[in-house]
Structure 1
């Protein structure tokens, strides 16, 4: 064993040494061997994978047919099925029941008032018998009304109410089928791995092409993105059930269906509810990105604020998403920990559903009162609080008073940490890098992982994406290093100190539920879009100062930057100064 450890260390040190040799002298070696392709894969040998994919998608949408119906008809049918319950929930929470189309529509019945929705969440919180949670949920929902985020919040909540049950149901069904069939489990496991590693944006284009632009497409993208954890949780829960419980069910004469739904699933309930919690959190993380293909609500508000560089509006909407996420997260976790009633403690129908019955009467009473007293229908505008100006002034204050510190930190981190890592990754010849990745795959997973690493690496090279892949790897690697330097000591501190654990847990939960796009607004305003961004995105390996641009060159570059910025900015309000 010791000999193997020593030999592994020798191999590791040798490969590391050779990697640095190739990094330092890669150009000289390529020139000496007259093989420039070692440094940069020839463009004329790249595979036009994007063209093939585009052609296939066009065929799928325009020509693919199953006889009686086309593929396009099939996708639109699924979209229609999801749209019906979504429209009902949206009417109940946001729009009300309408008669007619567009501007000519007449509201026959209004949506639930803000007090009714507060009452619904309050009732669910009562089941947990946790006073702190009841107060937290109550304040969270009231916050949405007080800070003028109610309408958008209800649209977002409508999407969550539809996406989560569908994602949970499909996840449980796929998990059960995988539990019953080992072959299916082997097939579905790599698919789930792929779904959880594919960037969120990658879902948008095929969903948009197949299902069109609109909230239904956004719902489908959310369901696909949030479903994998539910499949894994279901499979894990069923596999970890005590065999004696299963044997007791079989000995009691249960059929396969009874065994699954009356024995195994109820026993797995706590673990399954953890999966439900994950589906809720992932669905909320998707709301901003889904707004790019038609989802409204808070996600659209954040995206619109990003386009306008409206710091205050973006942070306000982002906090509203966090508030909803915290309320739903704590509720779902508490329900997962609720004890299951035994037969001896079973109650009558009224005693069991007393809270729900009272809630129905409460909603009816509030609706009737809302017809006479506006407060019971809409939260008064004069009582609403707007914090956007506060956030804008805060960022402005930091920029004015701490600009030099921020600039110094930015340049130091860039010069002495990020750019050296980037230069290292881009300087290693791609054949050697593929060899290293394959060797690492062999060390951790033998021939299967090594083959996968080799095939995927060759795919990246032959599609002409190697340089971009290295830039992505450098950014991810830098982030992991910094996150580890900060996170590991904090984790150790939290593990040794209960007070620190409580504070950090609350802080981390908030950060994990905050949509990633919300971070962009203060970061862009504090660190600006300028030299820092340009240097990070520069793929060259120059080690000297760039020559100063002429005014004509700067204007030519500005036109290109303006075209690129249209993706996230409203260029109508954009002013370029020279």
Structure 2
């Protein structure tokens, strides 16, 4: 088959995939595994005790490096203690109270107004007021304290690494490989080594959060500086700028929007990690939410989940709006207080609130009898659902589990390791040659010989189920959105909102409706991971050239034929990238869904935390990362292969 390209480039002749080779390979490996059991299941006596080695190495490092880790923890604890003193602790021995909640709410609204005007000010003010009105102020301020200290540290570290990478290609290659592994590793896997080195508490949680959140800033720094136009750089050099002046006065200002995008990602990653860091003793909303979920106190969990979501929304909207903020220019004779009217207003309100709090304690902290709660109503609704709807939900849950999920699980567990790894290696060979074929062999093979094959396959089973459902749901929605501009706005707004939610939040409705089961895990992953399938399908469909669509219409194709024979084939590379991101986000949820029961790698991480079994947690996290890296490399190669076939690359 030959694909003709309208732009005059040489047509690409495609070759049918060697399906016969794949079929023969599968049959041969299954048959060999039948006669030679080690090719079916890796013998336990052949397992290399990497897990024990890693645990012992970190235990030794924890003892040897204790002076360094204690000094680092003390250093980081100082700014955290200062922020906590301001926001919620105060200094009782001196009779000093923390900043009143009224002043913090007003400060959030004023900052929102300074960044983007009254609409953002109203959003920030109302969202922050929710934290006080619903009795979650102190927990929220504990969480916010970690965020306010960690974000500048992570952003500064990421900025420094990004600048260093732009000055050295070797450093950039090393950092990119490291960041690929870090970003593919689930949040929870960072906690096990941190516990061994730093123990439990606020500071270890902050260190784990900092490490997890810095890669986006470094990547955006590299992207932003690389994207500075050459003529701007040349103008800076001709003006006599030294390398340092060129960086601070030319490159970084020119890359400002990209750097602010990186800051936005740091903020969101920090907030997501702070919630998960409650597993190692970080106080705040995450700890309360985790306790509520474990006790099945759904009403409280909903209130706490909304609080976390509102903090995420406020920080997300502020950092996004800052990317497009245009500084106001004032006449030269404008007084200082007029130039800084927002700062003056905040200081005035804070002073007034502190003074008023001496007379009215409600201004400092709302007493419990003045707060609101809808937790009881939620609990009653949950009980009503369990009593009246679960009889209808349970058959659906059981049917999908028994007839869809369990067969997939049993199939994956039945597959010989030689068949599974060899099949992926053959695909890699077909799409990218020997180097790509070695990716699944080395990464997944390492997990097998380390003794993690069964949880690895159970993880792949859950991700497969989630990905299939995400494709069935997300691709049609993306196609529909590309046909309806008004619907696209609503769909993209919903997608933005879903991506703002911290991952913990998706567990709440799942537990309410489906209780704990494999289907619950898949649905929680699905709610978080469907967004990329929608977005990339919509993007791919909108990128189809209008001239191509008109040519198909002129050839007599109806709407269905245009969709299946023209638009979807051209949009397929973008759809593949969306599926790739869906897999990555599903893998990120694996460790979270372990909290509601599973037997996959996420559960291995979760079980490793209380016993400080660093090897178990770290290797399980690496296993999830290896699945993501393998999927990313294979799907990326497939997308490039399709683009070449279509003459688009």
State the partner residue of 2:157. Answer: 170
TM-score (norm 1): 0.84
1:10 to 14, 17, 29: 17
Counterpart among 110, 118, 127 of residue 123 in structure 1: 110
Moved more, 386-395 or 293-302: 386-395
CA distance in 2, matches of 1:478, 1:531: 10
Residue pairs, 1:407-418, within 5 angstroms = 407-418=394-405
Q: Say which of 471, 474, 478 aligns to 1:484.
A: 471
- Partner residue of 1:332? 319
Q: Deviations over 1:448-486 (max 9, x none)?
A: 333333211221121121222111111111111111221
Aligned CA distance change for structure 1 residues 376 and 448 (closer, same or farther; 3 Å): same
Alpha carbons 1:179, 1:185 under 8 Å: kept: yes
Mean Cα displacement is larger for which, 374-383 or 432-441?
A: 374-383
- CA shift for structure 1 position 208: 0.7
* Superposition map of 1:366-445 within 5 A: 366-445=353-432
Preserved contact between residue 287 and residue 298 of structure 1 (Cα < 8 Å)? no
1:48 corresponds in structure 2 to: 49
SS at 1:176 equivalent: helix
Alpha-carbon distance between aligned partners in 1 of 2:327 and 2:432, rounded to the nearest angstrom? 42
Alpha-carbon separation, structure 2, partners of 1:18 and 1:130: 65
Please tell me whether the aligned partners of residues 300 and 375 of structure 2 are also in contact (alpha carbons under 8 angstroms): yes
Instruction: Look up the SS of the partner of 1:264 in the other structure.
Output: helix
User: What is the deviation of 1:278?
Assistant: 0.8
Question: Shift in Å at residue 352 of structure 1?
Answer: 3.1
After TM superposition, the structure 1 = structure 2 runs for residues 239-388 of structure 1, keeping only pairs within 5 Å, are: 239-340=226-327, 349-388=336-375
> Does the 8 Å contact 1:318/1:518 carry over to 2?
yes
1:58-137 map, 5 Å: 58-62=59-63, 64=64, 71-99=65-93, 108-137=95-124
CA apart distance, 1:328: 1.0
- Corresponding residue number in structure 2 for 1:224: 211
How many aligned positions are there? Answer: 520
For the residue of structure 1 that corresponds to 2:305, the secondary structure is helix
Mapped partners of 2:490, 2:379: distance in 1: 27
The alpha-carbon distance between structure 1 residues 10 and 511, as it changes in their structure 2 partners (threshold 3 A), is: closer
Q: 1:141 aligns with which of 128, 137, 159?
A: 128
Residue 16 of structure 2: SS of its match in structure 1?
helix
Q: Partners of 1:400 and 1:524 in 2: how far apart?
A: 14
Alignment partner of 2:171 out of 176, 184, 193: 184
1:463 aligns with 2:466: no
Q: CA RMSD in A?
A: 2.8
| Aligned counterparts of 1:395 and 1:472: Cα–Cα separation in 2 | 30
2:33 aligned to 23, 30, 33, which one? 30
Deviation of residue 130 (structure 1)?
3.2
Distance, in Å, in 2 between the alignment partners of 1:121 and 1:196 is 31
CA 2–422 in structure 1, closer or farther in 2 if over 3 Å, else same: farther
Q: Secondary structure at the match of 2:48?
A: coil
Check 1:445–1:82 CA distance in 2 against 1; reply closer, same or farther (3 A cut): farther
2: distance between equivalents of 1:474 and 1:284? 29
CA contact (8 A) 1:285 1:513 kept: no
Unaligned runs of 5+ in 2: 4-10, 524-603, 609-649
Q: Residues 467 and 248 (structure 1 numbering): CA distance in 2 closer, same or farther, change over 3 Å?
A: same
Q: CA deviation at 1:380?
A: 4.7
Quote the offset at 1:359 in angstroms.
1.3
In 1, Cα distance between equivalents of 2:331 and 2:15 = 62
Detail structure 1 runs of 4+ shifted over 6 Å in the superposition: 3-7, 342-348, 530-536
SS at match of 2:95: strand
CA pair 346-14 structure 1, distance change in 2 beyond 3 A: farther
Contact 1:123 1:355 in 2 (8 A): yes
Cα offset, 1:37, TM superposition? 1.1
How far is 1:341 from its partner?
5.7
Match for residue 548 of structure 1? none
| CA–CA separation in structure 2 for the residues paired with 1:312 and 1:342 | 49
CA contact (8 A) 2:135 2:372 kept: yes
For the Cα contact (< 8 Å) 1:22–1:429, is it kept in 2? no
C-alpha distance in structure 2 between counterparts of 1:149 and 1:440, whole Å: 52
- The TM-score with structure 2 as length reference comes to 0.75
Contact 2:32 2:39 (C-alpha < 8 Å) held by counterparts? no
